[in-house]
Structure 1
Amino acid sequence: MNHPSRSGENTRLINALAGGWVADAASLGLHWLYDSQRIDEIGGRSPEFLPPRADYFTSGFGYFAHKGKHAGDVSHYGAATRVLTDSLLATEGALNIRDYQRRFRTFFGPGGLWQGYIDNPTRVTLDNLNSIEKEAIEQARSTTTTELTDKQKRVLVQKVLPYTRYLSGAQLAEPVRNAINLTYHEPEVQEAGVHLAETIDRNLLPESGADDMQLPAVSKLPPLVASYCGQSNLMEVTEAAVRVTNHNDEAVAWARCAARLLDHLYRGDSLSAALDAATREAPDPKSLANVRSGSSLDAPGAGDTYGRTCYLHEAMPVIFHILSHADSFTGAVRANIQCGGDSCGRAWIIGPAMAALHGVGGEYGIPLSWLARVTDAPAILADIEALVNQTWTPTEQTHERPGCPAD
């Protein structure tokens, strides 16, 4: 049985992570519609969980990006958050950059499961991961001293790539030798293959992200912060995770701000204390301090002042304004949608923060009916509980079938 304080913290973390999924799904229908008046015309006082429809965007400025999605689905932000969640589950809560990169590439890349909008950081990250691997292959081939035919070189690269995408360091040699032995029995050829694998491994860069300072840098943080809640290396792992998709110093600074905010709220600190701690990490603390003043919630006004787009210097002040003035999860989510613009991206900080504060149910928490409206809710909630309660399940096979060609 969990210690009572630990049990209470786990409940708060589970509620918080669920809040991100609910807030994202609730916002999808009117995502990237920038006209607050048009949003009010369509959604009125209850703009949540509307089905994405192109005709919402026939007047007012906006971009319809979610054709084929349905009410209750999450955005590409949610899809990326699930990739990181899956990686954390597979590595027992520890950030493993190689595993995270592989899953990201597999899910969003050619032949992957994702069907929907691809944002700039994702598109550039996929390109970078391919380029980094190609450069690592060339470096490995150029430093191989064993005399090999061109055919042998091609085959060896195909043999080792499945392993360099899954394994690293001392894990590589034995499975690589076994895979090569299916085709080449000569020890010198096998050792050349091990050299290729180890050299590729050393040259695969962890900083694979785009030079981009938009919301994808922070939207995936909730499960990572939950895994490292209260730990001294939270800022270090935050930066490492962010640079996988957003290799930009300003993006990292805003991510540290968001991670600090969530960490304090996850641990049960007051909203005021959490906002104070997060503001000290921000690259623009003045804007965050300004939006906390005043007594009324005016998300469209905050959007008018600071901006509604995906850029973090616009989004974070709007997030802080809503958190500072909303008194319930429902009120915060509705205000975020009514603000317009990148509501789904902002939802991944607003939702977890408000759910950490107010929980599930009751007058102020996540409405139970909203939880039930999220597509694939049972599986999502089961993953959240497994991550927080550390009830790890056996991980997937760690390498492809020996001898199976890669690309």
Structure 2
Amino acid sequence: MAANIPQDRRAAITAALAGGWVADAASLGLHWLYSSERIAEVGGQTPEFLPPRADYYTRGFGYFAHEGKQVGDVSHYGAATGVLTDSLLANNGSLNIRDYQRRFRSFFGPGGRWQGFIDNPTRITLENFNAIERRAVEEAQSSMPDGLTDKQKRVLVQKVMPYTRRLSGDQLAQPVREAISLTYKEAEVQDAGVHLAETIDRHMVRESGADDMQLPAVSKLPPLVASHYGTSNLLEVVESAVRVTNHNDDAVAWAKCAAVLLDRLFRGESLASAMNEAITEAPDQESLKRALEASKLSGVAAGDTFGRTCYLQEAMPVSFHILNTARSYTEAIRANIHCGGDSCGRAWIIGPAMAAMHGVGGETGIPLSWLARVTDAATVYRDIESLLSA
């Protein structure tokens, strides 16, 4: 856990987690613009932290998804990373799947705080939450006492649902009983309501994600890997977390590859060693090996070779190429933006990895001015520090 992080690694891991937020925010202005020529035309040699504007997308293929966002804001990838971070903070750095699911649903679902683009795995995951909940309610209703009227059964469902959506296990009985007592004084009705809530809770499954192998499977990993530093079950934890939003075997395999890469870099191992270990977890090892063959950095050429879209089989080789050839955090982030396509998604691998190696400041680390440009930077960095001291 975070308490296991040696003192001499804390600064590097703190920088790494901040590096993901900075890289995402830096990339947002040209995110999902696929034309490298248009990116160079708009952003030149310093394409970072441009304001998201629809007119960038008038030439060259692209999709403008961030209407209303400002310079320094992060994409939906960063928002989802924030949700997982909040869950880890609330559970002393441990992954609690039910808590994570509830926070994800509350943040991105109807009435939630998120205003912005909803990607495919998030949309389907939200739909799956509703379907899982309906099946759980049906299963629970089938075992309710025969003595209850249909009206009582309906009211009990209405009473317990607000609690099953935010509580679980031993937390349920008392507030559910108190809520039911406002309407029904009979102990047997209250008992039936508690049984209903506990049965619903038991049938809420952990694998709620979409059958999807895109970048949301790996973009949320940095705080999870950091908070489980030094544990023997890191890859099991990673799989559990990934299947909340991406219930797909290839997505899990790519996520394990990314997790091993980050874990080894967080431990202070060399990039070459970390990549060699990570490749063993990848479902397509040959593409990663080919990505390491080039000696000269070119995000554009990597995009031409491997692809620029959100799919992990394209994004991971591009990320490996940039990590292997970039000499500084700034150079890596600019190469990622110049590549085009899903730069914000790749940013959550490239940014933390480069920051873990190069830290903050100096010629190769995260520029201090970039750190300051992230929206709500003080809150973001406070949460990182809190997580690493959990």
**TM-score, normalised relative to structure 1:** 0.94
The aligned residue for residue 80 of structure 1 is 80
User: Is this contact kept in 2: 1:88–1:95, CA < 8 A?
Assistant: yes
User: Which residue number corresponds to residue 126 of structure 1?
Assistant: 126
SS in 1 for 2:6: helix
Cα deviation, residue 175, structure 1: 2.5
Q: Distance in 1 between matches of 2:40 and 2:121?
A: 31
Question: Distance between the aligned counterparts of 1:28 and 1:120, measured in 2?
Answer: 18
1:262 aligns with 2:262: yes
Query: Do residues 35 (structure 1) and 4 (structure 2) align?
Result: no
Q: Does the CA-based 8 Å contact 1:323-1:332 persist in structure 2?
A: yes
Shift of 1:4: 12
| CA distance, structure 1, for counterparts of residue 5 and residue 281 of structure 2 | 28
Q: Is the 8 A contact 1:128 1:209 kept in 2?
A: yes
- Matched to 2:231, the amino acid is Q
2:171 paired with 1:160: no
Instruction: Confirm or deny: 8 A CA contact 2:46 2:334 kept in the other structure.
Output: yes
Partner of 1:140: 140
- Name the CA shift for 1:361/1:389 in 2 (closer, same or farther; >3 Å): same
In structure 2, give the amino acid aligned to 1:237. Answer: V
Q: Structure 1, residues 117-149: CA drift from partner, whole Å, max 9, x if none? A: 000000000000011001100111111124212
- 1:170 maps to a residue whose letter is D
Q: Structure 1 unaligned runs (5+)? A: 391-407
Q: Which runs of 5+ in 2 are unaligned?
A: none
| Contact map agreement 1:47 1:337 (CA 8 A) in 2 | yes
- Report the alpha carbon displacement of residue 5 of structure 1 after superposing the two structures with TM: 7.8
Contact 1:146 1:192 (C-alpha < 8 Å) held by counterparts: no
**Cα displacement string for residues 87-134 of structure 1 (whole angstroms, at most 9, x for unaligned residues):** 111111010111111111111111111110000000000000011001
1:405 counterpart residue number: none
Name the counterpart of 1:69: 69
Per the alignment, residue 332 of structure 1 pairs with 332
CA distances 1:228-265 after superposition (whole Å, capped 9, x unpaired): 02211100110000000000000000000000000001
Contact 1:146–1:189 (8 Å) recurs in 2: no
The CA deviation string for residues 285-321 of structure 1, in whole angstroms up to 9 with x for no partner, is 1110111112101111111111000000000000000
User: Secondary structure of 1:294's partner?
Assistant: coil
Q: What are the equivalent positions in structure 2 for 1:235-274 lying under 5 Å apart?
A: 235-274=235-274
Alignment map for 1:6-405 (pairs within 5 Å): 6-390=6-390
Within 2, Cα distance between the matches of 1:371 and 1:233? Answer: 32
What CA distance in whole angstroms lies between the structure 2 residues aligned with 1:164 and 1:87? Answer: 17
User: What is the deviation of 1:170?
Assistant: 3.0
SS of residue matched to 1:370: helix
1-structure distance, mates of 2:84, 2:281? 23
Offset at residue 326 of structure 1 (A): 0.4
User: What RMSD in Å do the two structures reach over aligned CA positions?
Assistant: 1.4
50-59 or 142-151, which moves further after superposition?
142-151
1:195 is aligned with what amino acid?
H
Secondary structure of 2:261's match?
A: helix
Is residue 5–residue 229 contact of structure 2 (8 Å, CA) maintained in 1? no
The CA distance in 2 between the partners of 1:3 and 1:223, in whole Å, is 14
Deviation of 1:182 after TM superposition, in Å, equals 1.9
8 Å contact 1:36–1:339 — kept in the other structure?
yes
Residue correspondences, number: 389
Q: Is the 8 A contact 2:5 2:230 kept in 1?
A: no
Contact 2:22 2:351 in 1 (8 A): yes
Deviation at 1:188, TM superposition (A): 1.0
Farther off after superposition, 150-159 or 270-279 = 150-159
1:10 is paired with a residue whose SS is helix
On the 8 A contact 2:217/2:255 being kept in 1, the answer is: yes
1:345 and 1:5 map into 2 onto residues whose CA distance is: 27
Paired-residue identity, %: 71
The question of whether the paired residues in 1 share the 8 Å contact of 2:3 and 2:389 is answered with: no
> 1:10 touches 1:389 (CA, 8 Å); kept in 2?
no
